[in-house]
Amino acid sequence: MSILKIGDAQIHRIEEATYKFPLSMFNVDEALIERHASWLFPNFADADNNWEMVVQSWITIIDSKVIVVDPCVGNGRSFPTLPIFNMLETPFIERFEATGIRPEDVDYVFCTHLHSDHCGWNTKLRGGRYVPTFPNACYVMVKREYDRWDPARPGYDPAEQHNSLNAGVFENSVRPVVEAGLAEFVPDTHRITKGLVVEPAYGHTAGHSTLHLCSAGEEAYFTGDLFHHPLELLHPEIDANTCERYPMTVESRKRIIGECLESGALIIPAHFAAPHAGYLRKRDGAVAWDYNLAPTRRHKELRR
C-alpha cells in the first residue's frame, strides 16, 4: 500500500491485480527502446521487453471528503473472451479497508471512463444481484461518457461496445448505482470539491476525463487511460490501438503534457508500475519522465 501527499490532500493506492504485456503492442521499434533504456529497465520493461500493467484504484482525501477514483474490475465478473478479468477473486475490499477507510465512508466515486477495469467495484454481488459497493457515495458520471455506453440512447449500436472488454459492464457496474439514486450526471468540466475538478480528455473513449487536484499550492492529475505507459508521455503520437478516437487522444495527451510541464503537477495514471506516479521535466531541451518520488521532494510516497 502507498500513500501520496499532495499539499493537504492524502492519496492511498489500492491494487487489484498486475498483468504483463509486450512492449511491441505500442508499435515502437528497437531503436526507440534503446534510446530510453536508461529509465525503461527494470521499472517499466523487463529483460523480455514486457511491461507491467497494474490495475489499481486511488482513494483521495481532500477538503474533508473521501473520493474513490477508478474502482478496478471487481470480483466474479464474467468476461469469457477476456481471461485476465474473468471471474476474479481478489482481496480488493480487504486492501481498501486496510487504509482505515471503509466503503461506507466514501463520499464520492469517480471513474475517468466506464471501461471494465475502471468501474467494476462500483458494485458488488449480494444475494445474486449487483448493489452499490459504496452505499453512501455520490457516483459522479460525466454525461458524455454515460451516454456513450447507455443502451437506451438513440443510435446505440451493440457492435460498437467493445464487447470483449465491456460486455455486461453497464448492466452490472453502472445501471445499479443509477437505479439506487446514487448517480450524479455532470458536464464535461465539473468541480467535485474546492480542490478537485473533472476535466475532459477525450479519445480513449468519448467522454474520457481526468481529475485535476489542487491543494496548498500543489497539483496532480489522475489521467486514467490517457497514458498506459510512460513512453506515451514522451511520445504522445504512440498508437497502441486502445483508443476509440486516436487523433483526439493525441490532442488530449499533448494538452495534459504541456499543463504538467508548466505546473510541475504530479501525474497519476491508472496503470503505471511502481512507483505508479511521477513528473515530466525538461532536461537538455527534451522532455524526461521523472519517477523518483524521494522523501526529499514535496510530494512524498510512503510504503508499508
pLDDT for the residue 78:
93
List CB contacts of 221: < 8 A, sequence separation 6 or more: 210, 211, 212, 213, 256, 259, 260, 265, 266, 267, 268
pLDDT for the residue 162:
59
Residue 296 pLDDT exceeds 50: no
> Which three three-digit cell numbers place residue 237?
503520437
Give tens-digit pLDDT for 209-220: 999 999 999 999
pLDDT for the residue 297:
42
State the residue for C-alpha cell 521499472: 43
Residue 11 pLDDT exceeds 80: yes
Residue 14 pLDDT exceeds 50: yes
Domains located in the chain, CATH noted: 2-303 (3.60.15.10)
Give tens-digit pLDDT for 80-129: 889 999 999 999 999 999 999 999 999 999 999 999 999 999 999 999 99
pLDDT for the residue 240:
95
Mean pLDDT of 180-197: 98
Distance CA 236, CA 250 (A): 6
Give tens-digit pLDDT for 119-163: 999 999 999 999 999 999 999 999 999 999 999 988 877 766 655
Strand positions, DSSP E, the chain: 2-6, 9-22, 50-62, 65-69, 108-110, 123-126, 129-132, 138-142, 183-186, 190-193, 196-200, 209-215, 218-224, 266-269, 279-283, 286-290, 300-303
DSSP 50: E
Q: What is the pTM of this model?
A: 0.94
Distance of CA 13 to the CA centre of its chain: 11
Residue 301 pLDDT exceeds 50: no
Write b or e for each residue in 106-133: b if 16 or more Cβ atoms lie within 10 A of its Cβ, otherwise e.
bbbbbbbbbbbbbbbbbbbeeeeebebb
Position 149, amino acid? W
pLDDT for the residue 157:
75
Distance CA 89, CA 99 (A): 20
> Which three three-digit cell numbers place residue 213?
487536484
Question: Which 3 state secondary structure label does DSSP give 177?
Answer: helix
Question: Which 3 state secondary structure label does DSSP give 281?
Answer: strand
